[in-house]
Amino acid sequence: MYSRSLSYVWTLDGLSDSFPVTCGVRQGCLLSPLLFSIYINDLVDELRKGIRINDSICKILMYADDLVLVANSAHNLQINISILDEYCAIWGLTLNLDKSKIMVFRNGGSLKSSERWHYRGEEIEVVNSYKYLGVTLTPRLSFQAHLKEKASGAKFALNVIWKSVISSNSVPAAAKTRIFNSVMRAILCYASPVWGFDEYEIVERLLRLFVKKLYFLPSYTPSYMIHLETGLDPISCYTLGLHFKYVVNVLKMPQDRLPRILANEVIRTKIFWYAKWETLAAEYAPEISLDWSNVTDLEHSLRVLLTNVIAGRRDEMVARANNSSRYTLYRELDYGARSGNLLANSSVDLSISRWVMKLRCELLALNYRPYGTEDRDQCSLCNLQVREDTYHFVCICPILKCMRISVFGSDVLTREVFINFLNGDSWPKLAHFTRVAWKYRGELVAEFNFC
């Protein structure tokens, strides 16, 4: 590949004659990071300061041409920077100071006046945010900044394909979910094996946004309804599984590997992700052991824990639905009916699912809304002076009697019949009535200025 490497140069007069290339590698060549790593491999032996982790000392992190010097004090860090300066001078290396930053990891407070570092007389900038290997780091090791950026990128990617793919009736529901998962897992879940042990609102918000936008749901739709109606688990269940798998793989590494050393220390001191493990185990699987002396047994325990967490969070959503004092109609429904099932290829048209989900979840913008505090909640159409809720609108209101007879064959529907409709008994018929009745209501309200 490099034995007879030739190059050309485009000029104003056209392409130059070829000339041999006797040094360097081609752009993007896999040899580049390997050769660089070999070239600076002895740098770690030159450095004198670092961070003690149990019986080991970490002085530097090296990945391709990225170097991270670590130290436990400002003085020791400056010593290592000076050593790096001498090393670069000896071996003809150039440090890009514009891309070189310093981050001080701390619980809070401001930097001391003495906490300044210099390279060849120039001060190195101290930053509060730095992207390393695709992960945005902060002094307090919070993942919020990283997740905010990734959520924005995932949202943009979804918007790009929304009109042509996601909102199309010709694309099955299960396919829409696979597309969403592909975007979400590739962008939003980047580095989730590291942060996936915890739940993050900014992550779950993207899933809820996807469902609300797909089914034309209002922003105030309860989260538990979204999961129960679609069958989708929280994203945190997926990232927790990735995290468990990653840690198990780390614990199978040789004892002298840095990830293994760090994992051992996290477990020994019961901090960070291991503390969360213990909390989850106490709540969802108190019968399991998190003893890490046998990785095979631990792997089995984590599988049990993940299964229990997923089932437990589903049970929590059902409990929230059953205990709701606002959405009383939803409490009477079969949660397994799933008007917006996104886990299987449903034969129900998307437009039908949109109407049915709004009915099941009491999300029609009627005068009475379970979440609202409006003073006037009486029906805009009839003179019965009763609350205009979902049941009254679909089943009782006399102004809609003719439509009801035409569609259902009855001028009034009992609550039992209505519940059966909501649970899947002829959803197309229910959606058709609601669509026509809603349009008629809108026309009357606009024409007669009803409230």
pLDDT in tens, 74-125: 999 999 999 999 999 999 999 999 999 999 998 888 888 889 999 999 999 9
Same domain membership, residue 176 and residue 310: yes
pLDDT band at 342 (very low <50, low <70, confident <90, very high): confident
Which of 289, 323, 357 is the last residue in one of the domains? 323
Which of 269, 296, 323 is the last residue in one of the domains? 323
Same domain membership, residue 156 and residue 104: no
pLDDT digits (tens, 9 = 90+) for 13-65: 899 989 888 888 888 888 888 888 888 999 999 999 999 998 999 999 998 88
Residue 332 lies in a domain: no
Same domain membership, residue 258 and residue 232: yes
Same domain membership, residue 195 and residue 126: no
Residue 389 lies in a domain: yes
What is the distance between the alpha carbons of residues 81 and 108, in angstroms, rounded to a whole number? 25
Same domain membership, residue 162 and residue 125: no
191 close to 134: Cβ distance less than 8 angstroms: yes
Looking at residue 191, its pLDDT comes to 98
AA letter at 40: I
Which of 104, 137, 170 is the last residue in one of the domains? 137
Residue 289 lies in a domain: yes
CA dihedral 86, 89, 92, 95 (to 10 degrees): 80
Looking at residue 376, its pLDDT comes to 78
Looking at residue 449, its pLDDT comes to 64
**pLDDT over 60 (residue 451):** no
* For helices 295-323 and 272-284, angle between their N-to-C axes, nearest 10 degrees: 60
Same domain membership, residue 109 and residue 162: no
Q: If DSSP codes are grouped into helix, strand and coil, which group holds residue 233?
A: coil
**pLDDT over 80 (residue 439):** yes
Average pLDDT over residues 330-359: 89
What does the block give as tokens for 165? Answer: 């793919």
69 close to 77: Cβ distance less than 8 angstroms: yes
- Please give the radius of gyration of the chain, using alpha carbons only, rounded to the nearest integer: 31
Q: Which residues contact 443 (CB under 8 A, 6 or more apart)?
A: none
Same domain membership, residue 294 and residue 235: yes
Same domain membership, residue 284 and residue 199: yes
Exposure string over 306-326, b if 16+ CB within 10 A, otherwise e: bebbbeebbeebeebbeebee
Same domain membership, residue 152 and residue 124: no
Same domain membership, residue 252 and residue 199: yes
Residue 225 lies in a domain: yes
Looking at residue 59, its pLDDT comes to 97
Same domain membership, residue 150 and residue 110: no
Residue 301 lies in a domain: yes
**pLDDT over 90 (residue 3):** no
Residue 328 lies in a domain: no
Higher per-residue confidence, 9 vs 376? 9
pLDDT digits (tens, 9 = 90+) for 383-409: 899 999 999 999 999 999 999 999 999
Q: How many independent structural domains does the chain possess?
A: 4
Average pLDDT over residues 332-361: 89
Residue 348 lies in a domain: no
* For helices 258-269 and 272-284, angle between their N-to-C axes, nearest 10 degrees: 50
Range of the domain at 79: 40-137
Residue 178 lies in a domain: yes
Same domain membership, residue 314 and residue 196: yes
